[in-house]
Chains A and B, each alone.
Chain A
Amino acid sequence: MLQVLLSGLTVGTIYGLVAMAFAIVFYVTKVINFATGQLLMVSILLVSGLVKLGLPDWLGIVTGLVAATVLGVATYFIAVRPVLRFDRFSFAWLVSTLGVAIVIQATFALIYGPASQPFPRGLHAIPVRLGPATLTVQEIVTLAVGLLAIVGWHLVRRYTLLGKLGKAISTDPEIASTVGANVTAFAVGAFAIGGFLAGLAGILVGPITYGNPYLGDTYGIFGFIALMIGGIQRPAAAMGGGLVLGVLSIAANTYIGAQASDWFPFVLVLLVLLLTPNGVFASGDQLRRLFRTRRAYQQGVNA
């Protein structure tokens, strides 16, 4: 039971970090960067490649994180800014960010070949017993990073003027610009943070899933599902969605059957969208409305 919970939270944190990467970009720019999963792949494969060439692990990890961040920003300038300049309400980014994803994936497949590459085991080789459950140090670090991301985001957004300005941009970019917000700079920042978080998720999951040029598909999709479960409007909720997805997927694997992880996330997302279209952690409005309607109906019947 404890093992299911901890394993689920660890996996969920990875999904959650990818979902947060999606959500922070969306928060500021209202764009979904479909290359987010590929940024995770880039950081993993760069670490694999550089360590293979003889570089120390830490240098590979720093390079991987920087590359994912830079590539996130490049995605903004290549695929998002041009289409939005042409038409502010255009949805062309749906295709252009997907195009970036395909180009990144094909490039890495060409350089690395299709087979998976080993990733330094590092902290994942050190097990820690927690009563009946076992985690590795890497997994404990993953949980800590997830907690840090969610708390950090909350503090910045809630208690710094910069965070409040970001929120202002999120709700009304035009008026935010009239108080002095450089909306482009914030967009660049959002894509950079998105790239960094995706890259960080890659570093954390690398020892578990190894490096493969096609990894972006799997983690991109699960990150996106986590985003849908948590709610797209709030990055902290996206992390929550990841944790819910992780725990329930592992629980389904354990208690329903090994095939459950195949269909379970989709059923989950369907349920969430039916009950609370804005996500579990959006605001609770939908749930509240649901119960209020029923109460009002019952009062009507009683009267």
Chain B
Amino acid sequence: MSATTQTDALVVEGLSGGYDRFDVVHDIAFRVGCGEAVALLGPNGAGKTTVLRAIMGLLRHRRGRIEIDGTDVVAAPPHRIARGLAAMVPEGRRLFVGQSVEDNLRLGGIRLRGDRARTEELLAGVFELFPVIERYRDREATALSGGEQQMVAIGRMMMADPALMLLDEPSLGLAPLAIADLSAALRRLREQDRSILLVEQRVDIALEVCDRIYVLSGGRIVDEGRASDMGAEGRALIDAYLG
């Protein structure tokens, strides 16, 4: 644990849940410290997205304890959790169709609609991190390239200024150059002391960006460790899990 972390951004204990009374994840426990970046790794179907959806409130059937920034949200609907606790980049980006880049970003910051100055400040922050999308601010968001769309999705999450940032497979489907840009952007967020939970298939990105990792398999956490401790042996172990 880093010395500067005083409280945890996220504490998950005894989390089980899934769809229609059929549990996908079982008795999950992990934490993300304030200002810490944590990766959730695992093979396809391990339950990574399910855990992320449970934290965001999108999973109807969930039990246990999910505490974001000191608030238990296991029974809260997503629009409550979105009020400053968590924001997310969903798998496949899912930008709002038929709306401009700027509108997508402003919708991300809709919880702050009373605070004009803060919204403009956050928007400036997004454009500073991703200068390319400022040029396209009036274009329809879904007309952009995959990498640019991913920047909009991350920007939309940043606009909420949340206590916890959730990212689901942001590298999926991106070209190598775009992945490099993405990786750099994530490191910048990390440097801004944001608390991040990243779900990734690409182990290299996860290790580059994150402080710690958890490995999920078959709906359970099977391993954890510090990214800096991951030697060749550790990577081999993770690769074995990822199949």
Contact = CB atoms under 8 A, between A and B. Distances in A.
B106 A161 contact: yes
A178 B98 contact: no
Contacts of B79: 177, 180-183
B173 to A, nearest CB: 17
B96 interface: yes
Contacts of B81: 178
B88 interface: yes
B160 A174 contact: no
A179 interface: yes
Interface string B81-102: 1110001101000101111000
A172 interface: yes
Interface in B71-130: 77-79, 81-83, 87-88, 90, 94, 96-99, 103, 106-108, 110-111, 113
Contact of B110 (A167, A174, A175, A180): A180
B58 interface: yes
Interface in A257-295: none
A168 B83 CA distance: 17
Contact of A180 (B82, B97, B98, B99): B82
Given A165-B107, A168-B107, A175 B96 contact: yes
A164 interface: yes
Given A178-B82, A179-B82, A179-B160, A164 B58 contact: no
A178 B90 contact: yes
Contact of A164 (B56, B88, B99, B111): B99
A286 B110 CA distance: 35
B78 A178 contact: yes
B160 A180 contact: yes
Contacts of B106: 161, 164
Given A172-B94, A172-B96, A175-B94, A180 B83 contact: yes
Contacts of A181: 79, 110
B212 interface: no
B194 interface: no
Interface string A157-194: 00001001101100110111111111100000000000
B99 A167 contact: yes
B185 to A, nearest CB: 20
A165 B110 contact: yes
Contacts of B78: 174, 177-178
B77 A179 contact: no
Nearest to A85: B60
A167 B98 contact: yes
Interface residues of A, number: 17
Given A179-B108, A180-B83, A161 B113 contact: yes
Contact of A179 (B58, B97, B156): B156
Contact of B88 (A172, A176, A178, A183): A178
A165 B110 CA distance: 8
Contacts of B99: 164, 167-168
B55 to A, nearest CB: 11
A171 B107 contact: no
A177 B98 contact: no
A95 to B, nearest CB: 22
Instruction: From A168, A171, A179, A183, name the one whose CB has the most chain B CB atoms within 10 angstroms.
Output: A179
Contacts of B113: 161
A185 to B, nearest CB: 8
A174 B56 CA distance: 11
B195 to A, nearest CB: 17
Contacts of B107: 161, 164-165, 168, 176, 179
20 contacts: A161-B106, A164-B96, A164-B99, A167-B98, A167-B99, A168-B99, A171-B96, A172-B96, A172-B97, A175-B94, A176-B96, A177-B57, A177-B77, A177-B78, A177-B79, A178-B56, A178-B81, A178-B87, A179-B82, A179-B108
Given A176-B107, A178-B58, 11 more contacts: A161-B113, A164-B106, A168-B96, A171-B97, A174-B78, A177-B78, A178-B88, A179-B156, A180-B82, A180-B160, A183-B79
The 7 closest A-B pairs by CB, nearest first: A180-B82, A177-B78, A180-B111, A168-B96, A182-B79, A171-B97, A175-B94
